[in-house]
Amino acid sequence: MLIKTTFAALALAIATLAQAAVPVYGYIVKQTYPHDPQAFTEGLFYQDGVMYESTGLNGRSSIRKVELETGKVLLSREIPSTYFGEGIAPFGKRLISLTWTNQVGFVFDLETLQPQGRFGYEGEGWALTSDGERLYMSDGTQYIRVLDPNTLKVTRRIRVTADGAPVTQINELEWVEGQIYANIWQTDRIARIDPFSGRVLGWIDLTGLDKLSGVGPGTDNVLNGIAYDKAKKRLFVTGKMWPKLFHIELKQPAGR
């Protein structure tokens, strides 16, 4: 019995140590692109050669199609001024969008950005992403909701933890090679989250990227916006009201 107890304790200690040692990745800037400095970026994704972006603030919220290389807005759809626009995600030929505190989301045609409907949800809406089969929604808490893309109803919730502790302020989301990448609001970090267990598998430390973009410290112009080009495996990041958008490459943690 003593041997079994000792081995059980050792296994628990090893598992705890493994979870505690969440790796931290650095970054290399591969390319810099122009970005609208008036865009209060809330959602971002890249598809079929076009960057899609949602912007926030009452009276300034919009859904946009943007040319990556120039930052030129190709097509824009304003959100009514009573709504504070939040995250967006594609699903099939639709674009799904959230609003912050109104508990209302909108559905648009992905190509034309013409409105197609709306839906309701409880609590706040922060961000959306899709794995091609389901939608993932953040609401600022430690939970990520999994939505049925047809009914837009919650099917389950993922509790996000790092080192065994809950992670809150989960903001903009992006599905990247089987993981959920998430901006942590008002920090310089992106969490790499296992979509099944909710464990943070790694942190991406983007300290200094705001200075490279030419913005100073502030409560509004924070890091927010992740997009992934699956075809070329390019990772893009930006921030609220940043004049630049970056293609970055991750640097492996020291010792790995």
Asked, for residue 16, whether it belongs to a domain, the answer is no
Helix (H, G, I), strand (E, B) or coil at 160: coil
Mean pLDDT, range 27-32, rounded to an integer: 96
Q: Widest CA span of the chain, in angstroms?
A: 70
Could you tell me the residue range of the domain that residue 189 belongs to? 23-251
Asked, for residue 4, whether it belongs to a domain, the answer is no
Residue the block writes with tokens 């464990």: 199
Asked, for residue 217, whether it belongs to a domain, the answer is yes
Asked, for residue 5, whether it belongs to a domain, the answer is no
Percentage above 90 pLDDT, the chain = 83
Are 160 and 170 in contact by the 8 Å Cβ rule? The answer is yes
Residue type for position 241 = M
pLDDT band at 253 (very low <50, low <70, confident <90, very high): confident
Q: Phi/psi at 40 (nearest 5 deg)?
A: -85, 80
Asked, for residue 15, whether it belongs to a domain, the answer is no
Helix (H, G, I), strand (E, B) or coil at 124: coil
Asked, for residue 9, whether it belongs to a domain, the answer is no
pLDDT band at 44 (very low <50, low <70, confident <90, very high): very high
Q: Phi/psi at 11 (nearest 5 deg)?
A: -65, -40
Domain count, the chain: 1
pLDDT of 61-97, one tens digit each? Answer: 999 999 999 999 999 999 999 999 999 999 999 999 9
Residue the block writes with tokens 């824009």: 76
Of 61, 29, 38, 25, nearest in space to 215 by CA: 38
Q: Phi/psi at 132 (nearest 5 deg)?
A: 95, -15
Asked, for residue 11, whether it belongs to a domain, the answer is no
Asked, for residue 2, whether it belongs to a domain, the answer is no
CATH of the domain at 136: 2.130.10.10
Helix (H, G, I), strand (E, B) or coil at 112: coil
